[in-house]
Amino acid sequence: MTPFLPSPRKLRWGIAGTGGISRQITADFSLVGNADVVAVSSRHAASANEFADAFGIPTRFDDYSSMLDADIDAVYIGTPHVTHFEHARAALQRGRHVLCEKPIGLNAAEVRELAAIASESGAFLMEAMWMKFNPLYARLHEIVDAGAIGEIRSVRSSFGAPFPKDDSSRWKPGGGALLDQGIYPVTLSHMFLGEPLRITASGVVREDAVDLSQNYTLEYLGGRFAHGASSMVNFLDQSASLSGTGGWITIDTGFWFASKLTVHRFSVGKGEATETYEVAREGNGYVPMLRAVTSSILNGEVEHPFHTMEETARVFDTLDEIRRQITSNGQARS
């Protein structure tokens, strides 16, 4: 974790978007030292005013560009994900530090373009993959690194839930299950197995290219593999597991924000032995990430080592190939 260095002032954050995720993030910012939310923007003045009043934010805008020109250091982007690339690019070009809700772009090319712009501007840039900063995952890495289950041989994870068919961007071109939900299983696979050698995927895609569900297998050297799935039209088991040569680890339902995991070992004669580890959630669960990002920016870093832009781009390489396969071979559904 990046060491925290005191700053003579707090980092001034602007919030782009006033939806549910922005509300949770803003509430969690109140638990982060050396961070102040000083501005918010929405497409509608009424929404910006209501949000600002609710959280005691002094400055509000009905235009994102105007907020970027205000007295802020960094911006959190919580708008619909089809807008993330443009909003992040605009902020970086103005020299603002950026924490962008996932997915940070629609494909790997957009991710790498943003990384290049950030490098040129000297601004911090990170996708808000809060799972990586969850204290449970810090404990998980310690357990795995200590050899508790031997060599990791496979990863299993899925995230599926039937979302109501509304006017949200999820149901519009550019939306879909893969980037909204599938990004978590794919990221988990990359965290513990790395980039796959081979990908096999299938799914259900509407005629307007909105993907409704997908499942995939990622293959690695030596027979290692990852199985994953995501859906926005039906439930899927939302737990996860890592299996190794000496045992396996299960992560509770909602694996991307879970607070508990269990280590399982088995031996002939003794049967199964388990150890459970649990961590306390701070705020809505985003506090560890927000604290780490704020510390990185105040320390003069341009990215966080837990989730670099190149690692993000590699995850998108995998997502791109899954999308290519399900678009080419997937079943159509209206």
What distance lies between CA 280 and its chain's CA centroid? 20
169 pLDDT higher than 90? no
Looking at every residue in the chain, the average pLDDT score rounds to 94
Q: What is the pLDDT of residue 266?
A: 84
Q: Is 132 an active-site residue?
A: no
Distances from the Cα of 193 to the Cαs of 6, 110, 187, 270, 323, in angstroms? 36, 24, 10, 30, 20
Mean pLDDT over 4-16 rounds to 74
Residues 32 and 168 in one domain: no
Residues 121 and 159 in one domain: no
Angle between helices 309-329 and 108-121 (to 10 degrees): 160
Check which CATH number belongs to the domain holding 211 and give it.
3.30.360.10
**Count of domains for the chain:** 2
Confidence of residue 6 (pLDDT cuts 50, 70, 90): very low
Question: Furthest-apart CA pair in the chain: how many Å?
Answer: 69
**Which secondary-structure segment (H or E) carries 108?**
helix 108-121
Residue 287 domain flag: no
Residues 167 and 68 in one domain: no
Residues 65 and 212 in one domain: no
| Tens of pLDDT, residues 40-92 | 999 999 999 999 999 999 999 999 999 999 999 999 999 999 999 999 999 99
| Tens of pLDDT, residues 203-261 | 999 999 999 999 999 999 999 999 999 999 999 999 999 999 999 999 999 999 999 99
The parent domain of residue 55 ranges over: 11-129
Last residue of a domain, one of 129, 159, 184: 129
Last residue of a domain, one of 68, 100, 129: 129
Confidence of residue 168 (pLDDT cuts 50, 70, 90): confident
Residues 166 and 258 in one domain: yes
Check which CATH number belongs to the domain holding 99 and give it.
3.40.50.720
Pick the catalytic residue from 102, 165, 260, 270: 102
Q: What is the pLDDT of residue 4?
A: 35
Q: What is the pLDDT of residue 328?
A: 87
Last residue of a domain, one of 78, 102, 129: 129
